[in-house]
Structure 1
Amino acid sequence: MDAIRKQLDVLMGANRNGDVREVSHKYYDRDVCRLFLAGLCPHDLFQLTKMDMGPCPKIHSLQLRKEYEEAKVKGDHNFHRELEDMIERLIVECERKIQRALKRLEDEDATAAVAISVSKVTQTPEVMELSKQIKEKLKEADVFDFEGKTDSKIRVLELVEDLKGQRADKQSVLLLDAFNKDRASLPLPNQNPSQPASLPVVDPPDRHTQEMIYEKLKKAEDLGERGLIDEAQKALEEAETLKKLGARQEPILESSKYSVADVRITDQKLRVCDICGAFLSVYDNDRRLADHFGGKLHLGYMLIREKLAELQVLV
């Protein structure tokens, strides 16, 4: 019910039933969310994910946000420092997760920690332009919300989702290209690292096997986001086993029967997203990478990192 109520709040406003008496509140009241007034409430970041904080117990009101922004210009109040502190705490927690993952990977593969910066590879002018358009459309949606134009707001939010999808697709292609170059430079198992690496030509797995591989990769990402690194690596190794079996066109049975020992962890060539901390593999396909870039956790961490940069410029 909380999730449904939150979705209705996004579409129609928290006061859709007339039960939030905004007129009786001031922006500086204790039961008004100061972080929302400053631009970003953490309760809105990771809805319906494993990091979901639940609905915010305080009032979110665009009217009160407008009043706050007018007061801030006059120098009466400034809640941006509180927002900056909150974002820094979230980023510190994420960075610790990233460092733990990198340390574990470094023990297995010393090159994994420095191979690719996801944020640098995927920040092209075209991607940045899409991000700019998304921000502008979200502001437009807030204006329609403030004016009570629900239909217009819904149309704009649908456009925002389309733009996010376009951005995720472009980022996935950019990272896939970087991964292909990364993979081509890697020595094959039992190959002398001093010899040039050559990629074998194999037939792709059948459709059923590809679906099983995708499920294993998705499971690995979910486990990685929860900090369960051993379990995530196990799922990735099982996915690689399926890839190898599929490439040989062998019959595919129950995927859980294959031993983790069939594939070395170093064969996975894992990389860690330096934005959200999720595990990625140089063997991921464009579908999986697009799902990663369009996922709520990645988008949430990208949003707070961008917001922190904005706040630091204002200081």
Structure 2
Amino acid sequence: MSARNAMAAMLDELMGPKRNVELGKDTKVTFDDPDICKYYIVGFCPHDMFVNTKADLGACPRVHDDNLRLEYPKSDKFEKLGFEREFLKFLSRLDEDNQRRIRKNLEKLKANEENGQKKEDLRKLRDEQEIARIDGEIKLCMAEAEKAGEEGLVTKCQELVDKIEQLEKQKTAVEERLNNTATIPPPIDESAIKVMEVCEVCGSMLIKNDAQCRVEEHLSGKMHMGFSKIKVTIEELRFDNGSRGHLLMLLDISVNVKDGDHVNETDHVIEIGEGGLDRVHEIAIVAEVVRATDIVGMIVIGVTGTETIATDDIVAK
């Protein structure tokens, strides 16, 4: 955001989005004003949650009006303007993006582990080859030392015996390294020898069994708390049966037009997809939707598993 836009946003926060309206004209801000942040009115604005993190969404381009936020739950327009539906969609997109990041980091971690295993296997292979090479050189030196002894070349024989002793020491060192990885010098990058894991909430890479203070620091961080709040809010909205808006948008219920033997093109149909709900609970939800909706002649179809439940009688009630 440019300095000019940042200043304009700050003035909007302080004076309202209609600060430039001519005197005498209506300056009252309404819930559906395009300059007002609907997410902030409904609950919270995700743009405020991840400032200066990898998930930074940037500054919110709309105004956060505290007065409208307080008035909205008391208004007769509460949950009738579609704000909750848009809020859920936005939160769901953020959650989906986060889930992709988690999967990506898990794949990256797995690839690193596999790559590390390949490097370890290659190191072992090289050590085994080095041992074989030293064994071959020792045998050659022993043969030459034996020949020198037979020929009375005492000095040469002693030199070869000393060389054999050095080769034996080299072989012992390689064997110890092969059988005990603890003797491997630590790499320059300390994190390379630490076992990593992926946070299932925010996707951050963490050191497994890290110090408690660093664990607490992560748990209280913006990304972890932000995505935790998003996930909790999505679940709360999806299973809040207390209002028409929540029912229609958060239980994956869609209002549409459907052709059929007993459904005309102008009929309003609510379809409830599979969600692990039992028949009784599902019909109760359908009934609540109908009672909370002022659409006349609505036909409701609830689906549980492969069974279709026609509930026209609920509409009549």
Superposition TM-score, scaled by structure 1 size: 0.44
Higher RCO by CA contacts (8 Å cutoff, separation 6 or greater):
1
